[in-house]
Amino acid sequence: MSNMTYAYADQGNGKGFNSLWNLGLGYARATDCAAGGDWLNRAVAGADLITVAFGTNDIISGPYGGSGHATAAEIEDAVRTITKKCTDSGVQTIVWNSPPFDLSAELEPIRTEYNATAASIAADCGAQFFDAASLLADPTDASKTVYG
């Protein structure tokens, strides 16, 4: 987990400091965060807004300490746990689906299956949903990223 970073955004009142915490960039997996350790506890402590954007690393490398890839059900369970903890803590939460990542033919169905559940995870847990996958997908093939 990276350190907290402070950013200044003037909100019109001259008091615009916001803290941004990167809890996941660089190989984080939902299954790590859902374990409820330091990551998740720090995230909900005083946060106003949390985005839950997991899936790709889980698909590629699987749960920490395991072998192989995570299943769609494992990712869904982990993201549901994370999201519920965030919303139960009173934090505004936005669940993202997993963006296209030019995955192998074996792994793409996991992403597709997980993505089919992401909006319902958000709804079930009182969070919002952001469809990142549709914004980043190649219009001719939703499994491929428009950016390569």
- The pLDDT assigned to 32 comes to 78
- The pLDDT assigned to 11 comes to 60
Q: Is residue 72 domain-resident?
A: yes
CATH number at residue 68: 3.40.50.1110
Once rounded to an integer, what is the mean pLDDT over residues 119-146?
94
2 pLDDT higher than 80 = no
Q: Is residue 99 domain-resident?
A: yes
- The pLDDT assigned to 1 comes to 40
DSSP output for 12-36: SSS--EEEEE-SSTTT--HHHHTT-
pLDDT tens digits along 5-45: 445 455 666 555 555 655 555 567 787 788 776 777 877 88
Q: Is residue 128 domain-resident?
A: yes
> Which domain does 99 fall in, by range?
22-145
65 pLDDT higher than 80 = no
DSSP 8-state secondary structure symbol assigned to residue 63: S
- The pLDDT assigned to 135 comes to 93
Residue with token string 């958000």:
122
- The pLDDT assigned to 132 comes to 93
Q: Is residue 78 domain-resident?
A: yes
Q: Is this structure's pTM higher than 0.75?
A: yes
**b/e per residue 127-140 (b: at least 16 CB within 10 A):** bebbebbeeebeee
- The pLDDT assigned to 38 comes to 73
Cα dihedral 140, 142, 146, 148, rounded to 10, equals -110
pLDDT tens digits along 75-127: 999 999 999 999 999 999 999 999 998 899 999 999 999 999 999 999 999 99
How many domains does the chain contain in total?
Answer: 1
d(CA 34, CA 139): 33
Q: Is residue 31 domain-resident?
A: yes
- The pLDDT assigned to 136 comes to 93
DSSP output for 65-106: T--SPPPHHHHHHHHHHHHHHHHHTT-EEEEE-PPP----TT
Higher pLDDT, 53 or 46: 53
Q: Is residue 47 domain-resident?
A: yes
Q: Is residue 9 domain-resident?
A: no
Q: Is residue 6 domain-resident?
A: no
User: Residue 18 is which amino acid?
Assistant: N
CB 108 within 8 A of CB 73: no
DSSP 8-state secondary structure symbol assigned to residue 45: S
